[in-house]
Amino acid sequence: MSVLENNMLAVGSCIAGLGILMTGLLALLFRNPDAPRWTRPQIVPMLACVPVTATTGLGLGYTVYGVSQLVNGTGDPRELLVLAAVLIVLTLVWRALGIRRRLQDYAAATGGSSASVYRATEPALAIDDTLPPPPQPPARSSRRAA
C-alpha cells in the first residue's frame, strides 16, 4: 500500500488516462451508425458508462490528491513526468484512432441523432385542422320495456 500512497499522482494520472480513453472508445461504439444490435436499448449505454465514469473519477481523485501532496512538499516532483507522459500518450492514441473525426462523421451520417435510438419509434405528430364530428345522441330502441 505504501507504493500507492507514495505515487498517488502517477497512479491517478494513469487511471484517469485509461478512463478517458475508454470514454472515447465507448462513444465510438454507441455513436456508430452500424453499431451492434445489443447497443440499441438506452439502458445499455448508461450501464456501460457507470464503470468508465467511476474509473475516470477515481483516477482524477488520485491525481488531485497527488497534486495536493506535491504542493504541500511531500510528493515527488518526478511524478509530474508520469502525468506528462500519460497526457502525451493519450493524445497520440486519441489522434491515431481518429476518435474526434469519427464521432463527427457518425453525427453527420445519423443526422445528429443518437444511433442507439430506435428509428421506428420516433414520435410523429399528425396535426389536422378539422375537428371530429360531434357525438350523436344514442339511438332509440324499437323494443318497449315490459
Is 103 inside any structural domain? yes
Residues 62 and 12: beta-carbon distance below 8 Å: yes
The answer to whether residue 28 is domain-embedded is: yes
Q: Does residue 46 fall inside a structural domain? A: yes
Structural domain including 51 reads 2-109
Of 43, 30, 50, 26, whose CA–CA distance to 116 is shortest? Answer: 30
Rounded distance, CA 26 to CA 37, Å? 15
Phi, psi (deg, nearest 5) at residue 87: -65, -40
How many whole angstroms separate alpha carbon 86 and alpha carbon 15?
A: 9
What is residue 145's predicted lDDT score, i.e. its pLDDT?
A: 57
Grid cell listed for 1: 500500500
114 within some domain: no
Tell me, what's the pLDDT at 88?
92
Going by C-alpha positions, the residue among 12, 107, 101 that lies closest to residue 59 is 12
41 in a structural domain: yes
Q: In the prediction, which pLDDT does 1 show?
A: 46
pLDDT digits (tens, 9 = 90+) for 14-43: 888 888 888 888 888 877 777 777 777 777
Domain count, the chain: 1
pLDDT of residue 33: 79
Regions of the chain with pLDDT less than 70: 1-6, 112-129, 131-132, 141-146
